[in-house]
Chains A and B, each alone.
Chain A
């Protein structure tokens, strides 16, 4: 067995269910490329590369959450705040694919499961919370930090429960699912708090240094249309 395993390994979930989620992940990533192109311009593209590289780096930093249990950032919420939901999901996927192919972390068979949990579900949950919270909280470094913290905690727990669903569908060992759900949720509340702190410090720093590079500060205007992919008309937007 590997010394360093951070994602779902091969054989934990059976081949059929893994294949289904591989197909789901592939389809979702195609949609993300399609929708993300609307956001990806000459400035966002290098920024997205940096966000992926940064998430790769921080995922190496396992922090202790319980005796004998550690955790690391998943990064979905952080990516949403900095580069938006579609490109954000692609950033996390990039990291997971590179970790799988080069660093033997997260099984190749399980890649669809890992992408679904961390890049799709984690990012989607983070996005919904960020979009909601930024309608209430001020668009300041502090406001965006609080947003990132809360959204991270919730999104990490939801991502962890997505694994439980996958295990319920195709787990290879007969085990009590309620126990698994409880164990996963408990550990991931703590991991989410760690992730939330890292994400909050990161987005607050970027918001202070270069607010123009924070996607969440450009979008989610209080008067904007509910669909963020369509830029609101600049004229007449008086609150």
Chain B
């Protein structure tokens, strides 16, 4: 009943890496729902500076991590946008899995017999 989990995880990570590494370059670059609402009421020049009006982003401050080498989903120093976005995405997937999976693994419940945990496959 214990099917191999490793292959499923590997397959899932591959899909995630393809989405973040390739498909991400075709994503919309319009501001998202929140950002669009926050900019509503102001006018912006070509450099995205506020030129007038009243809106939520007026008091916006810089991000503390704006100088991060991965800031804004790119890799500092890589000028090719497709590569820069794609590589930052793949890196993000890897880091998220490593840190997230690592922390979950560390705090997991240990030593419980598999019987106390109803496995769906047995009664499905």
**Across the interface, do A42 and B56 meet the contact criterion of CB distance under 8 Å?**
no
- In the assembled complex, which residues on chain B have CB atoms less than 8 Å from the CB atom of A12? 38, 56-57, 59-60
**How many residues on A have C-beta within 8 angstroms of the other chain's C-beta atoms?**
88
Q: How far is the CB of A49 from chain B (nearest CB, A)?
A: 2
Closest chain B CB from A41 CB (angstroms): 5
> How many contacting A-B pairs (Cβ < 8 A)?
271
Query: Chain A 103-120, CB within 8 Å of chain B: the 1/0 string?
Result: 111011100000000000
Known contacts: A167-B56, A212-B121, A218-B120. The answer to whether A98 contacts B73 by CB under 8 A is no
Residues of A within 8 A of B5 (CB): 43, 46-47, 213
Contact A57 B101 (CB under 8 A): no
Is B36 positioned at the interface, with any CB of A under 8 Å from its CB?
A: yes
With A1-B48, A9-B61, A56-B96 already in contact, the answer to whether A41 and B35 are too (CB < 8 A) is no
Segment from A19-27, A62-70, A121-129, A147-155 that makes contact with B: A62-70
A171 vs B29: C-alpha distance when bound (angstroms): 26
Chain B residue nearest to A186 (CB atoms) is B33
**How close is A165's CB to chain B, nearest CB, in angstroms?**
14
Q: Is B37 an interface residue (CB 8 A)?
A: yes
Query: Which residues of B are interface residues toward A (Cβ below 8 A)?
Result: 1, 3, 5, 8-9, 12-13, 15-17, 19-20, 23-24, 27-38, 40-41, 48-49, 54-66, 68, 70-73, 85, 88-89, 92-105, 107-109, 112, 116-121, 123-124
5 contacts between A and B (CB under 8 A): A50-B9, A61-B27, A63-B28, A212-B3, A214-B120
